[in-house]
Amino acid sequence: MSTIVMKFGGTSVADAERIARAARRVVKAKESGQQVVVVVSARGHRTDELIALAQEISPKPPTRELAVLLATGEQESIALMAMAIHKLGHEAISQTGGQIGLLSEAVYTKARIKSIDASRITRELNNGRIVIVAGFQGVTESGEITTLGRGASDTTAVALAAVLGAKVCEIYTDVDGVYTADPRLVPDARKIEQISYEEMLELASLGAGVMHNRSIMLAMKYRVPVHVRSSFTDTTGTLITKENPMMEDIVVTGASVAKNLARLILLDVPHKPGMAARIFGALAARNVVVDDIVQSAFAAGSANMTFTVSNEDLDTCQLVLEELRKKIGLGEIVVDPTIAKVSVVGVGMRSHSGVADKMFATLASENINIEMITTSDIKISTLIPQGEADRALRAVHAAFGLHKAGATKTSKARKSTRKTRKGK
Amino acid sequence: MSTIVMKFGGTSVADAERIARAARRVVKAKESGQQVVVVVSARGHRTDELIALAQEISPKPPTRELAVLLATGEQESIALMAMAIHKLGHEAISQTGGQIGLLSEAVYTKARIKSIDASRITRELNNGRIVIVAGFQGVTESGEITTLGRGASDTTAVALAAVLGAKVCEIYTDVDGVYTADPRLVPDARKIEQISYEEMLELASLGAGVMHNRSIMLAMKYRVPVHVRSSFTDTTGTLITKENPMMEDIVVTGASVAKNLARLILLDVPHKPGMAARIFGALAARNVVVDDIVQSAFAAGSANMTFTVSNEDLDTCQLVLEELRKKIGLGEIVVDPTIAKVSVVGVGMRSHSGVADKMFATLASENINIEMITTSDIKISTLIPQGEADRALRAVHAAFGLHKAGATKTSKARKSTRKTRKGK
């Protein structure tokens, strides 16, 4: 009998009615002859409410106790979901992170999963029960309660699917899949049927925000097929899966935008070993996330270094750099706090040229200045002024024909060319 | 170093301000050089909210899942209390029922405590930490979450005090102690300084309602001194302790009333073995709590049997009795649904006569009919019409001089008499 993991996010279990709807879906899967494991998040805004409660007591509560507090959110959800399934006449049993032996690192927040003891779950499944697991939480080897970081119920679900050898991990959410671009910004954005883990990772980190990044990496590592779909409709969503030949026919899978970036240029960075390590080490120590690092070639003993940070982190970033400036002898620091990043992603790029050309030409025809360019083998990103972000995204989306199903597929002729090139 | 257990009920931790106040009290006890273990209930009406949440999902949720849900209430409280103590600069560590190895019977609600593994608590105390334990919850040997029944946080606190050999178990609540009678009914009721376990048990089961009955029995069994006091003032409350000679000088310690009783008289109960067992067994099977059972002597092959039930249980009770009537050949069933019970309690009664006399005379002078009388060695109860209950309580309270400290103490002369009698 095949096993399926179904994960319901906070909005999908926000109230009694939604819990009942999710329960009906679970029972339907069970009645179709599958073994079903359900992972749930805390209801609606429960986690935020609990954090507010802690804040009322102490502005900086100890992380151990915060984890104990937040873990109650998912514990509520598992009990309520089990009750809803019972009411439909099926046997269900709830399980906390501790009860299924979900061991994590010995840190209390954002802890990573070390192992899961599948035996308890397997035993219950073999007894014909539906097993309801609390997302987001684990225990250390000494029995301390930990949390896996916000959004990490996805990670719990994928990890369970991996351990149980599940056929698929279904992520039920308030959108009906992954889109070629954010539909709020690009009205004719289209739902993607299949996307590779690599593409999804790029899109997630670029701000598509449908799934937690760590969960996609875990799915990729263990080759767990993930189906992102709506908890409010029955339509098929987006399958996140390993790269396959069909996917490579599509050059560009999606486009994304990240707004609210700041670009910093450090002038006259001395040409000495360890400069980059000192600069980015100091920023990392203050939890400033840095992206799009570009260093010009050293000339006359110094070079320029450029990178982006989110606008939120800009103040901290400037503080850190000012401290460093005297110590290591940096030159001027030029800041532009009004930067956005528009990117296109697609595994097909690996074997097709012309994507960068087309992107630059599109932005040029829209009269949008490109401030900077960074690329990976499946992504091209351009930094542009924030004010032009939405227009740029729509233009790029249209240029690559993302609104049309299969529009960016290569023609037969190009396909054969590609094959020849690959053969080299 | 001596150990103290401090238990805070729901009203004492209802919001951030009250939690902070309780935390200050805990820190004060710690700074006075004691090892401190704190037991907390769920905040304010949290348990009722959680029950309502479950009811929304299912009118009859499985008890296993109800226990998982309700246990979150106390888990929230321990985390918040630990945070509040941290904020005052002391080290505190929260512990769920599972974490301290509070093993219970394998029933999910109203489970009884089997054992507590004190080693974790002792280790943390020896590290200088204040330990915050979730009341009301335990785990089975296989790690299932259980609840100990409503009000059972008191039981958790007393059990911990017993296991740790604590000097005292302090119960912080919204009243400042145990009174000679309910102050809402008897304005000049007086706070009792010391009361024996036996007296407290009688008062608790008669409706004084300050502490959970099971917790008093446990305290009596392990001789744990219990101090019931207000969480809002610093005044001394009531010490519940083992009987001592000083207490015996006081003939009547308190008076109580239970309203909303119904009295049933079963006429012509056949004189056959096992009649009482069949009748009360059938009632117990339907969870009808029966009290004040009196059976007249058998005459002409049958007898009358009288008892009380609460008005809430009356319908169920009558149903059960009608079913039995044909089967075992009972006669008529006479019901009076407007009965109250006024009682006086005192360990001094054991060695003093005249208490019953005085009580009956007092009620007679108030023109109140006594419907029935039951007694134990430390209690005299009279059943009277519900409409007279408050007046009867006030009259009895005044007659025994309970409003005056030590007023019911025996004179020296009587004391020596008593000693002589005891010597017999």
Phi, psi dihedrals of residue A54, rounded to the nearest 5°: -65, -40
End-to-end CA distance of chain B: 44
Q: Which residues of chain B are within 8 Å of residue A86 when distances are taken between CB atoms?
A: 58, 61-62, 65
Candidate from B69, B87, B96 with C-beta closest to A80: B69
**Top mean-pLDDT range of A154-168, A203-217, A283-297, B109-123:** A154-168
Q: How far is CA A260 from CA A311, A337, A372, B205, in A?
A: 5, 8, 16, 66
Give residue B212's identity as a one-letter amino acid code: H
Mean pLDDT of chain A: 89
Q: Does A101 touch chain B (CB under 8 A)?
A: no
For residues B275-298, give the mean pLDDT. 87
Query: Any idea which of A34-43, A322-331, A381-390 has the lowest mean pLDDT?
Result: A322-331
Separation of CA B364 from chain center:
31
Pairwise CA distance, residues A113 & B190, whole Å:
59
Tell me if chain B has a CB within 8 Å of the CB of A57.
yes
- What's the 3-state SS for chain A? CCEEEEEECHHHHCCHHHHHHHHHHHHHHHHCCCEEEEEECCCCCHHHHHHHHHHHHCCCCCHHHHHHHHHHHHHHHHHHHHHHHHHCCCCEEEECCCCCCEEECCCCCCCCEEEECCHHHHHHHHCCCEEEEECCEEECCCCCEEECCCCCHHHHHHHHHHHHCCCEEEEEECCCCCECCCCCCCCCCCECCEEEHHHHHHHHHHHHCCCCHHHHHHHHHHCCCEEEEECCCCCCCEEEECCCHHHHCECCCEEEEEEEEEEEEEEEEECCCCHHHHHHHHHHHCCCCCEEEEECCCECCEEEEEEEEEHHHHHHHHHHHHHHHHHHCCCCEEEEEEEEEEEEECHHHHHCCCHHHHHHHHHHHCCCCCCEEEEECCEEEEEEEHHHHHHHHHHHHHHCCCCCCCCCECCHHHHHHHHHHHHC
In chain A, % of residues over pLDDT 90: 69
Residue B419 tokens, joined? 């000693």
CA distance A8 to A18: 10
Closest Cβ–Cβ partner in B54, B84, B145 for A57: B84
Instruction: Assess whether pLDDT exceeds 50 at residue A419.
Output: no
**CB of B148 within 8 A of CB of B111?**
yes
Residue A50 to chain B, least CA–CA distance (Å): 9
Partner residue opposite B94 with nearest CB, options A57, A65, A93? A65
Side-by-side strand order, sheet with B137-139: B113-116, B102-104, B137-139, B145-147
Higher pLDDT among residues B415 and B80, named by residue: B80
- Are B150 and B47 within 8 A, CB to CB? yes
Per-residue pLDDT band for B97 (boundaries 50, 70, 90) equals: very high
Instruction: State the pLDDT at residue B46.
Output: 96
Better-scored residue on pLDDT, B345 or A174:
B345
**Res B261 pLDDT > 50:** yes
Out of A155-164, A283-292, A405-414, B176-185, least confident range: A405-414
pLDDT at A44 over 70: yes
CB B377 within 8 A of CB B349: yes
**Residue of chain A whose Cα is closest to the Cα of B101:** A143
Amino acid at residue number A263: R
Which of the two residues, B40 and A275, has the higher pLDDT score?
A: B40
Among A71-80, A307-316, A378-387, B256-265, the range with the most confident prediction by mean pLDDT is: A71-80
CA distances from A271 to A321, A332, A410 (A): 17, 16, 45
CB contact under 8 A, A96 and B68: yes
Side-chain-side CA neighbours of residue A278 (13 Å) = 16
Q: Given the structure tokens 């009721």, which residue do they identify?
A: B189
pLDDT-above-70 percentage for chain B? 94
- Are B56 and A16 inside 8 Å of each other by CB? yes
Looking at residue B222, its pLDDT comes to 95
Q: Which of B46-60, B279-293, B373-387 has the highest mean pLDDT?
A: B46-60
pLDDT at B246: 78
A410 pLDDT more than 70? no
CB contact under 8 A, A82 and B72: no
Chain A residues touching B75 at Cβ < 8 A: 68-69, 71-72, 75
Is residue B89 within 8 angstroms of chain A, CB to CB? no
The B residues from 334 to 373 touching A (CB cutoff 8 Å) are none
Tens of pLDDT, residue by residue over A183-207, are 889 999 999 999 999 999 888 766 6
pLDDT band with cut points at 50, 70 and 90 for residue A208: low
pLDDT confidence of residue A209: 67
Tell which residue, B203, B117, B113, B209, has the closest CA to residue B164.
B117
Which tens digits make up the pLDDT trace of B145-174? 999 976 789 999 999 999 999 999 999 998
C-alpha A146/C-alpha A144 separation (Å) is 6
Chain B residues in contact with A94 (beta carbon < 8 A): 64-65, 68
- Separation in Å, CA A13 to CA A16, A134, A258: 7, 13, 29
pLDDT of residue B244: 82
- Segment B336-365, tens digit of pLDDT: 999 999 999 998 888 887 898 899 999 999
Q: What percent of chain A has pLDDT over 70?
A: 94
- Parallel, antiparallel, or unpaired: how do β-strands B35-40 and B3-8 relate? parallel
B68–A19: do the CB atoms touch at under 8 Å?
Answer: no
Q: Distance between CA A378 and CA B278 in Å, rounded?
A: 81
CA nearest B77 in A: which residue? A69
Residue B315 CB burial class (10 angstroms; 0-12, 13-18, ≥19)? exposed
Residue holding tokens 């005249």?
Answer: B354
What is the pLDDT of chain B when averaged over all its residues? 89
User: Which among B19, B56, B69 has CB closest to A79?
Assistant: B69
What is residue B17's predicted lDDT score, i.e. its pLDDT?
96
Cα A352 to Cα A391: distance, rounded to the nearest angstrom: 26
Q: Do the Cβ atoms of B72 and A69 come within 8 Å?
A: no
Question: Mean pLDDT over residues A306-322, rounded?
Answer: 93
Would the pLDDT of B45 be above 50?
Answer: yes
List the single residue in B with minimal CA-CA distance to A80: B54
For the residues A318-326, what does the mean pLDDT come to?
91
Q: Is B19 on the interface with A (CB under 8 A)?
A: yes
- For residue A91, give the chain B residue with the closest CA: B62
| Residues of B whose CB is below 8 A from A54 | 79-80, 83
Q: Which residues of A touch B64 (CB under 8 A)?
A: 82, 93-94
Q: Which residues of A touch B19 (CB under 8 A)?
A: 57
Q: In the beta sheet, which residues pair with residue B264? A: B307, B335
Q: Is the pLDDT of residue B414 over 50?
A: no
pLDDT for A421 beyond 80: no
Smallest CA–CA distance, residue A87 to chain B, in Å, is 6
Three-state secondary structure string covering B112-146: CEEEECCHHHHHHHHCCCEEEEECCEEECCCCCEE
Going by C-alpha positions, the residue among B340, B377, B381, B345 that lies closest to residue B360 is B381
Q: What is the architecture of the domain spanning A3-174?
A: 3-Layer(aba) Sandwich (3.40)
Note whether B16 contacts A: Cβ–Cβ < 8 A.
yes
The span from the CA of A97 to the CA of B379, in Å, is 51
| Residues in CB range of B113: below 8 A, 6 or more apart | B102, B103, B104, B138, B148, B155, B156, B159
Tell me: the pLDDT tens digits for A349-367?
888 878 988 999 999 999 9
Q: What is the pLDDT of residue A274?
A: 84
Rounded-to-integer distance, Cα B112 and Cα B67, Å: 14
The CA distance from A18 to the nearest CA of chain B, in Å, is 10
Mean pLDDT for the stretch of residues B76-87 = 98
> Are B164 and B174 within 8 A, CB to CB?
no
Q: Which residues of B touch A64 (CB under 8 A)?
A: 82, 93-94
Note the pLDDT of residue A414.
Answer: 38
> Measured on CA atoms in the order B165, B166, B167, B173, is the torsion positive or negative?
negative
Token look-up 């805004």 returns A45
Sheet hosting strand B254-270, strand order edge to edge: B291-295, B302-310, B254-270, B333-345, B379-385, B372-376
- The two structure tokens encoding residue B297: 């002597």
Residues of B in contact with A96 (CB under 8 A): 68, 145
**Nearest 5°: phi and psi at A417?**
-55, -50
Distance from CA of A68 to the nearest CA of B (A): 6
Shortest CA distance from A52: residue in chain B: B16
Q: What is the number of other CB atoms lying within 10 angstroms of the CB of residue A18?
A: 19
For range A91-99, the mean pLDDT: 97
- Is B162 in contact with B175 (CB distance < 8 Å)? no
On chain A, the residues whose CB falls within 8 A of the CB of B20 are: 57
**Does B271 have pLDDT greater than 90?**
no
Instruction: Give how far Cα A394 sits from Cα of A182, A254, B269, B381, Å.
Output: 10, 12, 90, 85
B50 part of contact set with chain A, CB < 8 Å: yes
Residues of chain A with Cβ-Cβ distance to B88 below 8 Å are: none
Among the ranges given (A53-67, B254-268, B405-419), the one the predictor scored with the smallest mean pLDDT: B405-419
pLDDT band at B12 (very low <50, low <70, confident <90, very high): very high
Terminal Cα-to-Cα distance of chain A (whole angstroms): 44
For the residues A48-64, what does the mean pLDDT come to? Answer: 96
Q: Are B348 and B400 in contact (CB under 8 A)?
A: no
B319 vs B375: CA distance, rounded Å: 29
Whole-model pTM: value is 0.83
Residue A24 forms contact with B (CB below 8 Å): no
Show residues of chain B in contact with A83, CB under 8 Å.
Answer: 54, 57-58, 61-62, 65-66, 69
Q: What count of other Cβ atoms lies within 10 Å of the Cβ of residue A375?
A: 13
Q: Compute the CA torsion angle A96, A97, A98, A100 (nearest 10 deg).
A: 90
Q: Inform me whether the C-beta atom of residue A94 falls under 8 Å from chain B C-beta atoms.
A: yes
Q: In terms of CA atoms, which chain A residue is nearest residue B84?
A: A57
CB-based contact B219:B154 (threshold 8 Å): no
Q: Please give the CATH topology (third level) of the domain spanning A255-399.
A: VC0802-like (3.30.2130)
Contacts 24+ apart (CB under 8 A), A397-402: A397/A180, A397/A181, A397/A186, A397/A188, A397/A189, A397/A255, A399/A358, A399/A359, A399/A362, A400/A251, A400/A252, A400/A255, A400/A344, A400/A358, A402/A180, A402/A181, A402/A189, A402/A190, A402/A252, A402/A254, A402/A255
Range with lowest mean pLDDT among A145-149, A292-296, B392-396: A292-296
User: Please, which residues 113-152 of chain B have a Cβ atom closer than 8 Å to chain A?
Assistant: 143, 145
* 8 Å CB contact between B311 and B334: no
Q: Which of A24, A46, A69, A142 to probe by mutation at the B interface, max B CB count within 10 Å?
A: A69
CA distance A218 to A224: 8
Report whether pLDDT(B297) > 80: no
Above 80 in pLDDT, residue A56? yes
Q: Where are the domains of chain A?
A: 3-174, 255-399
Burial-class residue A140 by CB neighbours within 10 Å (0-12, 13-18, 19+).
middle
* ipTM summary value: 0.82
Distance from CA of A71 to the nearest CA of B (A): 9
**CB-based contact B72 A76, cutoff 8 Å:** yes
Residue linked to tokens 């479950």: B54
Q: Is the pLDDT of residue B406 over 70?
A: no
What confidence category does residue A50 fall into, taking pLDDT thresholds of 50, 70 and 90? Answer: very high
pLDDT for residue B405: 67
Closest listed residue to residue A382, CA positions, set A391, A373, A390: A373
- Report DSSP letters for B315-339, one per residue: HHHHHHHHHHHHHHT---EEEEEEE
At residue A406 the predicted structure's pLDDT band, cuts being 50, 70 and 90, is low
Q: Which residue of B has its CA nearest to A17?
A: B57
Query: Is a pLDDT exceeding 70 seen at residue A293?
Result: yes
Q: Which pLDDT value is given to residue B53? A: 97
Q: Which of B213, B176, B175 is nearest to B197 (CA)?
A: B213
B contacts of A57 (beta carbons < 8 Å):
16, 19-20, 80, 83-84, 87
Q: What is the DSSP letter of B297?
A: P
Q: Which residues, 6 or more positions from B32, have their beta carbon under 8 angstroms from its beta carbon?
A: none
Are residues B83 and A61, on separate chains, in Cβ contact within 8 Å? Answer: yes
